[in-house]
Amino acid sequence: MFGDVFKEKEKIKRKLAPVTAAEIGRVLASQEETKPAFRKENLWLSSIYYLTPVDFVLDYWRPVARKQTWSMDLHCGIGDFVHQYIQEKLHSAGVLLPQTSGRYNEIRISDPKYRFGGRIDGLIAKDYIKALGATTPKAIPDSFGDLLHLEIKTMTPDKFSETKTAEDISPAYKSQASITQRIIGKEGTLFLLVDKGTPTKMRTLWYQGEDIYWNAAVNLSKTVFSAIENKTLPLVDGSEEELLGMSFAQWLEETEQQKQEWEKW
């Protein structure tokens, strides 16, 4: 009798055995999806700082489908949720503009001449900056008008603790802000930094754009779209050559063959 009870307890223990993190990870990985390939017609401001001219040109002619890991998807998803939550709350409070009925939608911006594209988190009324937990920065002249460009950035706890002044803002964020300011006609950006580990920790930093980032973006635009128009490949030094020393048609044919071989694996 006691032997039967013991056996039943063992069965229950086995059923209730904790699932390991590795097992959960395998389940999540099994749900990963490959994002469809599509041609990028514009230089996207949020990623322009890291863009390699050669990669953009090659990807323009032969878009590559990219698989995003579940860990990357989760990391981005947490940031997106915090981002959207703050936007919705500021919008409903009348702080974030433009005011629209229903769900807040980010503002799309573009520069047709240089083919820059992107979105901005919104425009914030200067009088309401205190609603973000900060006093109006003295560096903001009254001549800048009543509306300021707002950029929300969620970051890891370590990165948040390191970013205490405008000088500490990452070059990628500075690049995005500097180009955006030129496109929308604003002379500065108010960064709202949010600690992704503890989202109630926030910090505001005022950043005035720098010409070096705008000039670099313009040179990048001229380089890649000139190469696309002429069917050439931009090199590291900025010069151009015919694609890999072969005709453009040959290059497209070869890359298609390589793609098929890769997919067999």
Give mean pLDDT in consecutive 10-residue pieces for the chain, a chain of 265 residues: 57 62 73 66 90 84 75 83 88 75 84 94 72 48 63 93 95 94 90 91 92 90 90 64 45 54 50
The answer to whether residue 249 sits within a structural domain is no
Do residues 240 and 171 lie in contact, with contact meaning Cβ atoms separated by under 8 Å? Answer: no
- Which CA distances in Å does 186 have to 109, 182, 190? 13, 7, 11
The answer to whether residue 154 sits within a structural domain is yes
How far apart are the C-alpha atoms of 29 and 82, rounded to whole Å?
24
The answer to whether residue 260 sits within a structural domain is no
The answer to whether residue 257 sits within a structural domain is no
Do residues 118 and 109 lie in contact, with contact meaning Cβ atoms separated by under 8 Å? Answer: yes
Which CATH number is 106's domain given? 3.90.320.10
Q: Tell me, yes or no, if the pTM score tops 0.85.
A: no
DSSP 115: T
Do residues 94 and 58 lie in contact, with contact meaning Cβ atoms separated by under 8 Å? Answer: no
The answer to whether residue 28 sits within a structural domain is yes
Give the CA-trace dihedral at 162, 164, 166, 167, to 10 degrees.
Answer: -50
Residue 30: its pLDDT value, please? Answer: 74
Structural domain total, the chain: 1
The answer to whether residue 167 sits within a structural domain is yes
Classified as helix, coil or strand, 196 is coil
Do residues 115 and 41 lie in contact, with contact meaning Cβ atoms separated by under 8 Å? Answer: yes
* Residue given tokens 């090199």 in the structure block: 235
**Residue ranges making up the domain that contains 128:** 1-230
The answer to whether residue 235 sits within a structural domain is no
What beta strand segments (E) does 140-216 contain?
Answer: 147-155, 189-195, 202-207
Residue 146 sits at the vertex; the CA angle it makes with 141 and 149, to the nearest 5 degrees, is 85
The answer to whether residue 245 sits within a structural domain is no
Query: Side-chain half-sphere of 197: how many Cα atoms within 13 Å?
Result: 6
* Closest to 134 (Cα-Cα) out of 194, 189, 198, 204: 204
